[in-house]
């Protein structure tokens, strides 16, 4: 078990460690699974290091099932740019009970803490950008997704 991290220095309603790394771009690739009332897919998050050799990336999550977290690199050719998944990262998502016991309201969601491997973080300098891919699905109770009841028109 990992302790629930403190809230952000810049945003008291977020667990993100945006004093160390900041998101500069997000790309979502999701598809709806209507039968399971879930969104399934991934988010590519490009981050910029605000410090030398950050050890973790902490993101806000809520009612998500995280499948994997990977490093993504761009491979450029004359015809196109291809994204390649390179390395799996260790991660930990705090449970709702842990967050509550740490004194935070449920509305804050849960921190997703991603540990950057030493061989990667040694090469990250202040100002460098890197991309991580979070593969996940939402739960039927996710408040960000409201599913239509067939008897009604949405």
pLDDT tens for residues 38-53? 999 999 999 999 999 9
Give the CA dihedral 124, 127, 129, 134, nearest 10 degrees.
80
79 inside domain: yes
74 inside domain: yes
Q: Please name every residue paired with 57 in a beta bridge, in sequence order, or none if there are none.
A: 114
117 inside domain: yes
14 inside domain: no
Report the CATH number at residue 108. Answer: 2.60.40.1730
Which of 34-43, 44-53, 70-79, 132-141 has the lowest average pLDDT?
Answer: 70-79
The domain of 68 spans 21-138
Structural domains in the chain (count): 1
Give the CA dihedral 36, 39, 42, 44, nearest 10 degrees.
-170
Q: What is the pTM of this model?
A: 0.84
10 inside domain: no
Residue 87 has pLDDT above 90, yes or no: no
151 inside domain: no
| Positive/negative CA dihedral, 17, 23, 29, 31 | positive
96 inside domain: yes
16 inside domain: no
Band the pLDDT of 133: cuts 50, 70, 90: very high
Exposed, middle or buried by CB within 10 Å (0-12, 13-18, 19+), for 138? buried
Q: What is the pLDDT of residue 12?
A: 86
């Amino acid at each position: 078990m990992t302790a629930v991290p403190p809230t952000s220095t810049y945003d008291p309603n977020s667990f993100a460690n945006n004093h160390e790394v900041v998101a500069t771009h997000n790309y979502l690739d999701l598809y709806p699974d209507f039968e399971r009332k879930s969104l399934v897919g991934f988010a590519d998050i490009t981050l910029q290091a605000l410090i030398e050799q950050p050890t973790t990336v902490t993101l806000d999550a809520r009612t998500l099932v995280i499948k994997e977290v990977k490093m993504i690199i761009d491979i450029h050719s004359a015809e196109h740019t291809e994204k390649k998944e390179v390395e799996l990262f260790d991660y930990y998502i705090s449970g709702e009970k842990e967050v509550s016991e740490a004194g935070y309201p449920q509305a804050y969601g849960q921190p997703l803490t991603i540990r950057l491997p030493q061989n990667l973080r040694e090469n990250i300098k202040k100002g460098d950008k890197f991309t991580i891919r979070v593969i996940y699905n939402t739960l039927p109770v996710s408040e960000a997704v409201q599913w239509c009841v067939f008897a009604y028109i949405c």
